Structure 1
Amino acid sequence: MSRLQVWARDLGMGTRFAFGGGREGWTRTLLTGIGVGLGVALLLISTAIPGALAQRYERGDARSTLNSERAEAPGPDTLLIARIGQTYRHKDIEGNMIRAEGPDAPLPPGLKRIPGPGEMALSPALDELLKSSEGALLRERLDARVSEIVGAPGLVGPGELFFYLGSDTLLKNGPEDYRVQRVTGFGHDTDREGLDPVLMLMVVLTFVALLMPVAVFIATAVRFGGERRDRRLAALRLVGADGRMVRRIAAGEALAGSLIGLVLGAGFFAVGRSLVGSVSLQQRSVFPADLDPAPWLAVLVALAVPAAAVAVTLFALRGVVIEPLGVVRTAKPSRRRIWWRLLLPLVGIGLLLPLGGRGNDHGRFNQWQVAGGVVLLLVGVTVLIPWLLERFVAKMSGGPVSWQLAVRRLQVNSGAAARLVNGIAVAVAGAIALQMLFAGVEGDYTKSTGQDPGRAAVAVMVNRESETSMDDLAQRIAAVPGVTRAVPLTSTQAAHQVPADEETVQVTIGTCDALGEVATLGSCKDGDAFVVTGSPSRDDVYGATAKPGDELFVGNVRGYGYGSASASGTSDRPGPAKWKVPADARTVPSREDPTGQLRGGLLVTPSAAPKDIGRFPDAQVYVQVDESGPDALDRARNAVFKADPFVTTMTLRDTTEAAGYSSIRTGLFFGATAVLVLIGGSLLVSQLEQLRERKRLLSALVAFGTKRSTLSLSVLWQTAVPIVLGLVLAAGAGVGLGAVLMGMAAQPLRIDWASVLGMTAAGAGVVVVVTLLSLPPLLRLMRPDGLRTE
């Protein structure tokens, strides 16, 4: 018989034992399958994520008009479109106002027809929000009749808040009117800018750190029921099987469990895929159809998992002598060696150290070298935990009965306890290292905006083409309940000659209170004017200036469309008006406004301001609200939208994050959530399997009079001791790996102890929850009738 035939025979015999061993055999195989299945499901999800993100980008590009075909004049195939995005309760709502100029106007993706005046098409998520009690205030803003629901081709995700609003007043008044686009089609082709080396490093590390615990859990799951399996193998030796044969039979049992795991994993993936459409994290969501693993990756998982199950089983049995009369491992095992366990992390560090100090300035990192180094370091954690646990419990003795029972159990077989903690330790170590790297490079990708939310919650920006009355808008906002202050400012351009062919003079018009937001005025009354200089700390005000008594032209100083007619047939683009700077204008230092801008030019109060400047000013209203009052900001946004949908309401923020950095953090959040679920589920299955193996022992101890509380505490100690040691080792390894990664990113070493403690506490919290969930089965197992023979 050939070697291949021998392997096939013995693996097949092991598979039959796995499925034909009665209730015990089926239970063991099912638990192994569940453990493997959870890991397989997460692997399939991980392989599908890149494709899902690509589908999101493609649908976003398909509805974009950024580089679409444009038309200069209305035609049968033209469409007017303008972006009118909104914010509601810290949620971003994408929206467009559209108007068909002809019967063949292009149809936006996901729509069956273009909404008419007073109609709007909504995404399913926005429709659901508007119909809910939470969307009552938003209904006041978006109060048009719903004509249809936007289909999937027009949305980047099922949870996206998106709408099209039909209009019959939308106009494009000239080439300088950038708010409105006249397009003949949808679609945007672009070569997306690649990530810089440090961001790409973070992507690689995120995938490695999230997938390593999955691999560890799969390796743990295929070893469920190890002690009972070894006793069965001893019985096979008794009837004539040799040592190699029983190892191949054991591998066959593991192979059977892994195949069940593949089937269950595909089922778990299908269930998770069907539910993913209802999940939205940080306003990111994916359609179930997008979560489609690449076929070659799915095949790789299907082949790698059974192969790994066989390899792990053979590796686990390398030091076990199975004889006809028993298993030598039931005696005190030989002491574990340390040298090869230290070799793995040392080799990993050796791979990473040559990449130190490169940052973004010295080319890209070798992804395979980075991944290999990190994998070796994290694997080093898993192989060091058994040695550390063995040394810790070797010399222990004394203490309460529950402690003695737990220590003795760990002294006899610390391997099973170490396997229980391996996955959580790897996850914590990887998370700490990633958190350190994210914290270290945050300053490079998180920039200060210069805005001051303490002075204004939002800045309402009115474009020069708007027909909205500035005074009317400010009064509407000020009348909103919860608005404590609404400061309006109007800005226009002036020049010494027209058409202006050089820098213009900025003229800002407002009350004394409003002008105090942009300069340090001292005394001020209506009728005053001021010449603005740079501030004491900054002297970077751009633009020309003027002196008291200068004659200026104010308004349309660039000569845009003199005499062009509006929709009513009258000219709304008059020439500039003449104006003389008041002779008593004082010079004052400028001050950053709430948006962080430093103004120059002239400041004038209303009675001293130039008249008849036409529709060529820009205007802002700085709005502050009472944060203790409910929905004041959204009521103000409602008032602004009712006045003019094109008015921009900008929420002021202290900082802003680079898009790539923000996306990676979001991806890490998605992945970490999935891994935490896997950790909890796999730990619970592992715990239940270990309790099942000790069922008769626990029943015997109860039958001899041992208190249930004592046994419960002993089981808890058996879990707590390995977990504490594992988390301590994981914290140390995570800090060390994080230090190496920060050196690679050319960042100074800074340990974020809050993140270290937070990640360690999160790992401990998962273990606590799993332990509490395992208590009811433990109490049921501790019954004397568990000794009965069935």
Structure 2
Amino acid sequence: MSTRGGPQWYRDLAMGVRFAFTGGREGWVRVLLTAVGVGLGVALLLLTAAVPSALSARHDRERARTDITFSDLRRPKADNTVIVANVGTTYRDKDVRGRQLEPEGPRAPLPPGVAKFPAPGEMVVSPALRKLLKSDSGKLLRERLPYRVVGTIGEPGLIGSAELAFYAGGEGLAPMITGGRVSRIDSYGDPQPSSEPLDPVLILLILVMFVVLLTPVGVFIAAAVRFGGERRDRRLAALRLVGSDSRMTRRIAAGEALAGAVVGLVFGTGFFLLGREVAGSVEVLDVSVFPSYMNPTPTLAALVALAVPAAAVLVTLLALRGVVIEPLGVVRSARPARRRLWWRLLLPLGGLAMLYPMIGQGRENGDFNQYLVIGGVILLLVGVTALLPWIVEAVVARLGSGGVAWQLAVRRLQLSSGTAARMVNGIAVAVAGAIALQMLFAGVEDDYTKVSQNDLTRAQMQVPLPSGIPLAPAAEKFERTKGVTGVSSFGEGYLGDRRTDPELSGAFTVGDCAALREVATLPTCRDGDVFALADTEYETDTKALAEPGRTLYLDPSYSDIPDPTKQITWTLPKEVKQAEPRKDMTGMYRDGFLVTPSALPAKAAPAVSGQIYLRTDASVPDVNELVRNTAADISPFADPYSWTVSERSDRFTSIRTGLFVGATCVLFLIGASLLVSQIEQLRERKKLLSALVAFGTRRRTLSLSVLWQTAIPIALGLVLASAVGITLGTVLLKMTATPVRLDWASVLSMTGIGAGVVVLVTVLSLPPLLRLMRPDGLRTE
């Protein structure tokens, strides 16, 4: 380019920017529509760019307040130590983080976000927990937490704005430090944070998820910068009339698009700041954050700020290549050359070629090449935007005659199939990506899901009791709890042939005859009996230990220094009966000895820990919460948990949660952008609609024609999206070495959601359509 051409570029762009802001009402409307569309996309890009920092901030907050590390280190008491006990609970499927604190000196460390230690009987709570306790829905939880609220936990002590947490005053906790729920510490924070690396399949899920969520955003931004294109091109024809050449005209058009994109950046920043504040007051799928977490890294923010205006200029220049702007008008309505198919197929084929080398790699052969994964998925999804205009053009050219509304819609699509395809591109890309992700998640879900062995027909809840809690009174309290229909209680412990480092060892289970029959087939049973169970694959010492009259040692020590608290002896009775084990409620076979209560000496109580299994009536409202209240009344360390059919990996669940949160934001963007695009299309056709009404066309007919103009491209786009999504999902499953299973329910649900968004947008666009269909729309000044 010549020296003169360089400055000319800037002058032409600057002229386009001036036209955008000085073009009267039409110019401002176009800039506003473009800015809103671009702004929504920019806001979502910035929010997405802030996700990594938000997750990192949550992780850092969690690590900074770590207090119970299950370490074997026994720290001595000092003036700078505090005893921390885990007394957390669950309330209506929400975790409530709870701690009891007992400072042991004036220099005892305070947990993050807490100004001073609460006294016994007092607690400080998170704002969300305070709100819940004051509400009617928190009545059962108030009964479970017998503390007086004296303060609020500050933001540094919480991982999210909706977290339920409390710190209560404790006393007499020192004897319980031997358990895993109580620790003595002199500082908060995990001294040796360990991060287990993600396996390759989870990394693949994360990569594909980000690409699938962000690609539709880019497509929408590209479509938004072309709002009002037809009116703009007619204005540019006037510039050709006064002497500008075609290149200068295109650069002026690019300047107009640049103005809209820059204003869109401003709007997007405002939308992002608004969304950032909203994010601090909502909870999505049990995940909440503070606004301060939502800070995109400067590099990503700068990339968005530079990429969006550059993309606006580039998209405008590419769009105008097929438009001839002459001094006497715009040659757009003439029949354009047929779109070529061959180069459009190169994009998805190129994507498949990038993914093909990783087929069969699985999780055993290292990480997947992230560049090939990102590039391949992007090419396949962008291929949807390349193929859809060709498909729409090819199909509408062959559509036959029909009613007036049908003919109006088909003729409009035949004249501007590209515009119709642009409206649909974003939704088609989003649906294709969602189908592929659903297939991938469904395919690998079994690898991260463990089917529970618990027999839910015999028990639905389990309550572990701390050592020293009498079993029989606790079982009676649960029997009196509303909604509990059956109680099976067991005492459990270990024994050996010596006080320290026994050569022979085994387990023992204490319970009445009814309870013992739940775990073994007994010949006869009465209180005072002892039974020996047959040796199992994992336990082979029972037969050797079961000598009548033999002295055994309960809870033996495995160390060089005997524990004086573990000097409990038990002499087997003269008759030890034999019993056959059967599967217990947990799906396991027990071994060792079965003991009825009176056969064990009273001094053995410290060596026995209790397990209570409950059958509950699900029709009783809040039956699980009533059980938890009973457990809290017995001991704050008794933490009941409900049994489920299966358990899923926390990491897999977190990734899936992230997908749902991101998909919710993308669907909002899809709906908002489609609505803006639809209104812009109607605005450009205002005079045409008014003319048709003035000539007697019924409004019902025009409304139906608008519906058909939306429905036909959407139907074609969803069919293409399903085909591309299934193809991509199949390739991803083959990459993970997972059998390909086509979940038609997921495919149809994703397609239905996409169609539902479009139907909603169409309904919302009807009021402005009716306002535009007035004869006075032909008036001009």
> Are 2:581 and 1:589 aligned?
yes
- Summarize the alignment of residues 718-757 of structure 1 with structure 2, pairs less than 5 Å apart: 718-757=709-748
TM-score by length of 1: 0.95
- Secondary structure, aligned partner of 2:45: helix
- Whole-angstrom CA distance in 2 between matches of 1:217 and 1:483: 55
Q: Which residue of 2 aligns with 1:46?
A: 48
Cα distance, 1:10 vs structure 2: 0.8
- Whole-angstrom CA distance in 1 between matches of 2:681 and 2:574: 89
Q: Which residue of 2 aligns with 1:343?
A: 346
- Whole-angstrom CA distance in 1 between matches of 2:578 and 2:128: 55
| 8 Å contact from structure 1 (residues 79, 98) kept in 2 | yes
Tell me: CA distance 1:169–1:240, structure 2 relative to 1, closer, same or farther (3 Å).
Answer: same
- Whole-angstrom CA distance in 2 between matches of 1:233 and 1:586: 98
Deviates more, 1:204-213 or 1:519-528: 519-528
- Summarize the alignment of residues 221-232 of structure 1 with structure 2, pairs less than 5 Å apart: 221-232=224-235
> Are 2:8 and 1:6 aligned?
yes
1:193-216 per-residue CA deviation (whole Å, 9 max, x = no partner) reads 221111111111011000000000
- Whole-angstrom CA distance in 2 between matches of 1:600 and 1:456: 21
Tell me: CA distance 1:163–1:596, structure 2 relative to 1, closer, same or farther (3 Å).
Answer: farther
- Secondary structure, aligned partner of 2:340: coil
**Aligned AA (2:577):** A
Cα distance, 1:365 vs structure 2: 1.1
- Whole-angstrom CA distance in 2 between matches of 1:597 and 1:156: 38
- Summarize the alignment of residues 454-465 of structure 1 with structure 2, pairs less than 5 Å apart: 454-464=457-467
Tell me: CA distance 1:506–1:17, structure 2 relative to 1, closer, same or farther (3 Å).
Answer: same
**Could you say what the CA RMSD is over the residues aligned between the two structures, in angstroms?**
1.9
**Aligned AA (1:205):** V
**Aligned AA (1:325):** L
- Whole-angstrom CA distance in 1 between matches of 2:300 and 2:663: 21
- Whole-angstrom CA distance in 2 between matches of 1:413 and 1:449: 57
- Whole-angstrom CA distance in 2 between matches of 1:59 and 1:720: 49
Cα distance, 1:493 vs structure 2: 2.1
Q: Which residue of 2 aligns with 1:365?
A: 368
**Aligned AA (1:55):** A
Correspondent of 2:687 among 668, 674, 696: 696
Q: Which residue of 1 aligns with 2:556?
A: 557
**Aligned AA (1:247):** R
Tell me: CA distance 1:580–1:224, structure 2 relative to 1, closer, same or farther (3 Å).
Answer: same
Tell me: CA distance 1:721–1:611, structure 2 relative to 1, closer, same or farther (3 Å).
Answer: same
- Secondary structure, aligned partner of 2:509: strand
- Whole-angstrom CA distance in 2 between matches of 1:399 and 1:258: 41
Cα distance, 1:116 vs structure 2: 1.0
**Aligned AA (2:474):** L
1:709-756 per-residue CA deviation (whole Å, 9 max, x = no partner) reads 000000000000000100010011000000000011111111111111
Cα distance, 1:540 vs structure 2: 4.5
| 8 Å contact from structure 2 (residues 452, 645) kept in 1 | yes
Correspondent of 1:147 among 141, 146, 150: 150
Cα distance, 1:389 vs structure 2: 0.5
Q: Which residue of 1 aligns with 2:572?
A: 580
**Aligned AA (2:335):** K
| 8 Å contact from structure 1 (residues 696, 787) kept in 2 | yes
Q: Which residue of 1 aligns with 2:755?
A: 764
| 8 Å contact from structure 2 (residues 500, 562) kept in 1 | no
Tell me: CA distance 1:14–1:574, structure 2 relative to 1, closer, same or farther (3 Å).
Answer: closer
- Whole-angstrom CA distance in 1 between matches of 2:500 and 2:566: 13
> Are 2:620 and 1:629 aligned?
yes
Q: Which residue of 2 aligns with 1:506?
A: 507
1:598-639 per-residue CA deviation (whole Å, 9 max, x = no partner) reads 311111333444543131102100012110111111111111
Q: Which residue of 2 aligns with 1:412?
A: 415
- Whole-angstrom CA distance in 1 between matches of 2:573 and 2:205: 57
**Aligned AA (2:384):** V
> Are 2:546 and 1:547 aligned?
yes
Correspondent of 1:277 among 267, 275, 280: 280
Runs (5+) with no aligned partner, structure 1? 565-572
- Secondary structure, aligned partner of 1:93: strand
- Whole-angstrom CA distance in 2 between matches of 1:100 and 1:608: 42
TM-score by length of 2: 0.96
Tell me: CA distance 1:237–1:554, structure 2 relative to 1, closer, same or farther (3 Å).
Answer: same
| 8 Å contact from structure 2 (residues 339, 390) kept in 1 | yes
Q: Which residue of 2 aligns with 1:477?
A: 478
Q: Which residue of 1 aligns with 2:115?
A: 112
- Summarize the alignment of residues 323-722 of structure 1 with structure 2, pairs less than 5 Å apart: 323-464=326-467, 467-521=468-522, 524-533=525-534, 539-540=537-538, 544-545=542-543, 546-547=545-546, 549=548, 551-558=550-557, 573=565, 575-581=567-573, 583=575, 585-591=577-583, 593-722=584-713
- Secondary structure, aligned partner of 1:172: helix
Q: Which residue of 2 aligns with 1:290?
A: 293
Q: Which residue of 1 aligns with 2:78?
A: 75
Cα distance, 1:434 vs structure 2: 0.6
Cα distance, 1:528 vs structure 2: 4.2
Cα distance, 1:562 vs structure 2: 7.3
- Secondary structure, aligned partner of 1:185: coil
- Whole-angstrom CA distance in 1 between matches of 2:471 and 2:367: 52
- Whole-angstrom CA distance in 2 between matches of 1:543 and 1:345: 64
Cα distance, 1:88 vs structure 2: 0.8
| 8 Å contact from structure 1 (residues 85, 93) kept in 2 | yes
- Whole-angstrom CA distance in 2 between matches of 1:542 and 1:641: 38
> Are 2:76 and 1:84 aligned?
no
Cα distance, 1:234 vs structure 2: 1.3
- Secondary structure, aligned partner of 1:615: helix
Cα distance, 1:581 vs structure 2: 4.5
Tell me: CA distance 1:336–1:543, structure 2 relative to 1, closer, same or farther (3 Å).
Answer: farther
Tell me: CA distance 1:278–1:542, structure 2 relative to 1, closer, same or farther (3 Å).
Answer: farther
Q: Which residue of 2 aligns with 1:569?
A: none
1:690-718 per-residue CA deviation (whole Å, 9 max, x = no partner) reads 11111111110000000000000000000
Cα distance, 1:505 vs structure 2: 2.0
Runs (5+) with no aligned partner, structure 2? none
**Aligned AA (2:443):** G
**Aligned AA (2:127):** P
1:413-457 per-residue CA deviation (whole Å, 9 max, x = no partner) reads 111110011000000000110111111111111112322333222
- Whole-angstrom CA distance in 2 between matches of 1:584 and 1:551: 11
Q: Which residue of 1 aligns with 2:764?
A: 773
Deviates more, 1:598-607 or 1:721-730: 598-607
**Aligned AA (1:715):** V
Cα distance, 1:770 vs structure 2: 0.7
Q: Which residue of 2 aligns with 1:570?
A: none
| 8 Å contact from structure 2 (residues 690, 776) kept in 1 | yes
- Secondary structure, aligned partner of 2:606: coil
1:35-57 per-residue CA deviation (whole Å, 9 max, x = no partner) reads 00000000001111101110111
Tell me: CA distance 1:206–1:574, structure 2 relative to 1, closer, same or farther (3 Å).
Answer: closer
- Whole-angstrom CA distance in 2 between matches of 1:100 and 1:162: 19
| 8 Å contact from structure 1 (residues 554, 613) kept in 2 | no
* Count of matched residue pairs: 775
Cα distance, 1:16 vs structure 2: 1.2
Deviates more, 1:78-87 or 1:539-548: 539-548
| 8 Å contact from structure 2 (residues 581, 590) kept in 1 | no
1:440-493 per-residue CA deviation (whole Å, 9 max, x = no partner) reads 1111111123223332222111132xx322111111111111111121111122
Cα distance, 1:503 vs structure 2: 4.6
1:537-591 per-residue CA deviation (whole Å, 9 max, x = no partner) reads xx45576454363524253433899786xxxxxxxx3622322245251321231
> Are 2:241 and 1:249 aligned?
no
- Whole-angstrom CA distance in 2 between matches of 1:68 and 1:755: 42
Correspondent of 1:166 among 165, 169, 183: 169
- Whole-angstrom CA distance in 2 between matches of 1:716 and 1:36: 25
- Whole-angstrom CA distance in 2 between matches of 1:177 and 1:253: 70
